[in-house]
């Protein structure tokens, strides 16, 4: 191998020339008189910063894991934040859409209106609203929870028992609500999609009082859509109102209420049969649905909260929240079961039923956070108390003949059009109240 010293010589010459050219500038700079720059004070808050209008897919801080305003690098667990910008860009209009695009989370739709969320092999049953824990009574979500009310969604994967009661190895999902803005903002979004989907959402925010000490925000929306499934239709209506008031320079009071209805006609209840009676796999059309034309599944959620935040001396802050969540579900469904014959399609039977569910939950959450000094080091401390209560009413009704094992045979699924006489669903041998 031969070495050519010529490139090294040229490189050294170039560097030396650059240094020589720089020296006169340095001398001139040293000879000029120093100039005092005007002082500039920069202040900012690490947390409680809205993600909307940032045009960003990341947020500066998260409070889901510790109630402290920590950067994502400081959180000892894996954190994913889905911002308002991302939800708008990808048309993630409901929580199913959001979590389907979240790393490490699986969305399992049991039918059309019942969904399970899992992470690391376990069901996700820890949910928060603005950091206030609201455990799920059941491990599934009924209906569709719209994202129009939320600024962002934070997902912390792994056990989070410090802030959510009993820890779960799955994940914690934190819904961060939209808050009023000091400046007046208004927007209307109109979208459409496949299967006659129509959606409109209006959002108005700004100061209510002349001084700007009282601010308000209203979000309202409507959505109607069909499906690739026969006879299926879903209609959603949503409203969210929130009011903020600066009681003093250091005291902030927030009141909010949201209501959402998700009404579905001809929803699925159970799955299509997988095998024929001879053991071979079925092959139905993609649009095949077992729902009857009278089936429905209506879900309503009421969400109310009062929050008081007080800034204290020494960088401390105290926050108290009273939160009420009510989920109502009313449905009349048709379940088809059996193993059809491959040639005739016969062998399926009907099992109609009615279900009413009302879950009311209350949470009172109070905590304080701030810095303190110990052993010549500054530490952050969170101290608080949490109380919750849940009441559940669950009723199931059936037709008497079906409870006695007398089932009505159904036509083949390939000929099924949803036409089935609705029975009297009044008998409740195994319902609960």
Token duo for residue 290: 């077992």
Round to whole Å and give the CA distance between 295 and 231. 10
Residue range 180-433, CATH number: 2.40.170.20
User: Which residues are 50's β-sheet partners?
Assistant: none
Domain 46-177 grouped into CATH 2.170.130.10: yes
CA atoms within 13 A on the CB side of 249: 1
Taking the C-alpha atoms of residue 215 and residue 243, their distance in angstroms, rounded to an integer, is 6
Which residues partner with 304 through β-bridges?
257, 324
pLDDT value at residue 33: 67
pLDDT number for residue 57? 80
Q: If DSSP codes are grouped into helix, strand and coil, which group holds residue 198?
A: strand
Name beta bridge partners: 327. Answer: 301, 359
Are 308 and 253 in contact, with CB atoms under 8 Å apart? yes
Residue 170: which residues within 8 A CB-CB, separation 6 or more?
118, 119, 120, 121, 122, 123, 124, 125, 126, 157
Per-residue pLDDT of the chain (433 residues; tens, 9 = 90+): 444 444 444 444 433 333 444 444 444 445 556 677 777 665 544 445 677 777 788 777 777 667 777 777 777 788 899 999 999 999 999 999 999 999 999 999 888 888 999 999 999 988 999 989 887 777 788 888 899 999 999 999 988 766 666 667 899 999 999 999 999 999 999 999 999 999 999 999 999 999 999 999 999 999 999 999 999 999 999 999 999 999 999 999 999 999 999 999 999 999 899 999 999 999 999 999 999 999 999 999 999 999 999 999 999 999 999 999 999 999 999 999 999 999 999 999 999 999 999 999 999 999 999 999 999 999 999 999 999 999 999 999 888 777 666 788 999 999 999 999 988 887 765 544 4
| Rounded distance between C-alpha atoms, residue 12 and residue 323, angstroms | 71
CA distance 255 to 307: 7
Burial of 38-72, coded b for 16+ CB within 10 Å and e otherwise, reads: eeeeeeeeebeeebbeeeeeebbbbbbbbbbbbeb
The position carrying tokens 């699986």 is: 106
pLDDT at 295: 96
Going through 37-184 in order, the beta strands assigned E by DSSP cover: 78-83, 106-109, 114-119, 122-123, 126-129, 132-133, 140-142, 150-157, 171-177
State residue 198 phi and psi, 5-degree precision: -135, 135
Angstrom distance (rounded) from CA 216 to CA 349: 54
User: What tokens appear for 281 in the block?
Assistant: 């796999």
Only one residue has tokens 């947390």, namely 47
Six-digit token string for 340 = 């059809």
Give the pairing type, strands 126-129 and 171-177: parallel
Residue ranges per structural domain of the chain:
46-177, 180-433
Q: DSSP secondary structure string, 211-276?
A: TSSEEEEEEEEEEEE--SSTT-EEEEEEEEEEEEEESSSSEEEEEEEEEEEEEEES---S----B-
How far apart (Å, rounded) are the C-alpha atoms in residues 39 and 138?
57
- pLDDT for residue 7: 43
DSSP 146: B
- Give the number of other Cβ atoms within 10 Å of residue 159's Cβ: 18
Rg (CA), the chain: 30
Residues 6+ apart with CB under 8 A from 192: 198, 199
């Amino acid at each position: 191998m031969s070495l050519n010293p010529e490139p090294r010589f040229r490189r050294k010459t170039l560097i030396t020339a650059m240094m020589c050219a720089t020296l006169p500038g340095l001398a001139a700079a040293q000879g000029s008189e120093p100039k005092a720059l005007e002082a500039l004070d920069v202040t900012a808050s690490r947390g409680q910063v809205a993600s909307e209008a940032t045009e960003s897919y990341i947020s500066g801080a998260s409070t889901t894991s510790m109630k402290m305003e920590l950067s994502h690098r400081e959180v000892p667990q894996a954190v994913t934040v889905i911002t308002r910008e991302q939800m708008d860009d990808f048309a993630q209009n409901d929580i199913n859409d959001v979590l389907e695009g979240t790393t490490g989370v699986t969305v399992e739709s049991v039918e059309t209106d019942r969904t399970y969320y899992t992470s690391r092999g376990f069901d996700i049953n820890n949910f928060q609203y603005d950091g206030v824990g609201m455990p799920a009574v059941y491990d599934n979500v009924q209906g569709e929870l719209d994202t129009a009310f939320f600024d962002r969604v934070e997902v912390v994967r792994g056990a989070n028992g410090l802030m959510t009661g009993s820890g779960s190895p799955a994940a914690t999902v934190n819904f961060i609500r939209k808050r009023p803005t000091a400046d007046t903002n208004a927007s209307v979004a109109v979208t459409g999609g496949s299967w006659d989907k129509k959606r409109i959402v209006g959002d108005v925010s700004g100061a209510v009082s002349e001084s700007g000490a009282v601010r308000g925000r209203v979000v309202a929306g409507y959505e109607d859509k069909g499906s690739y499934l026969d006879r299926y239709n879903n209609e959603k209506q949503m409203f969210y109102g929130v009011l903020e008031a600066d009681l003093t320079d250091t005291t902030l009071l927030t009141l909010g209420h949201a209501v959402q209805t998700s009404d579905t006609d001809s929803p699925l209840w159970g799955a299509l049969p997988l095998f024929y009676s001879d053991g071979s796999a079925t092959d139905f059309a993609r649009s095949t649905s077992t729902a009857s034309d009278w089936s429905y599944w209506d879900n309503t959620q009421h969400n109310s909260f009062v929050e008081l935040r007080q800034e204290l001396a020494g960088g401390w802050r105290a926050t108290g929240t009273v939160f009420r969540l009510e989920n109502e579900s009313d449905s009349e469904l048709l379940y088809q079961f059996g193993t059809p014959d491959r040639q005739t399609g016969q062998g399926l039977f009907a099992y109609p039923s009615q279900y009413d569910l009302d879950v009311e939950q209350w949470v009172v959450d109070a905590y304080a956070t701030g810095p303190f000094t110990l052993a010549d080091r500054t530490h952050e401390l969170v101290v608080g108390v949490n109380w919750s209560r849940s009441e559940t009413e669950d009723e199931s009704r059936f037709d008497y003949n079906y409870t006695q094992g007398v089932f009505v045979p159904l036509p083949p699924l390939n000929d099924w059009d949803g036409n089935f006489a609705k029975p009297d669903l009044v008998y409740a041998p195994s319902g609960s109240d």
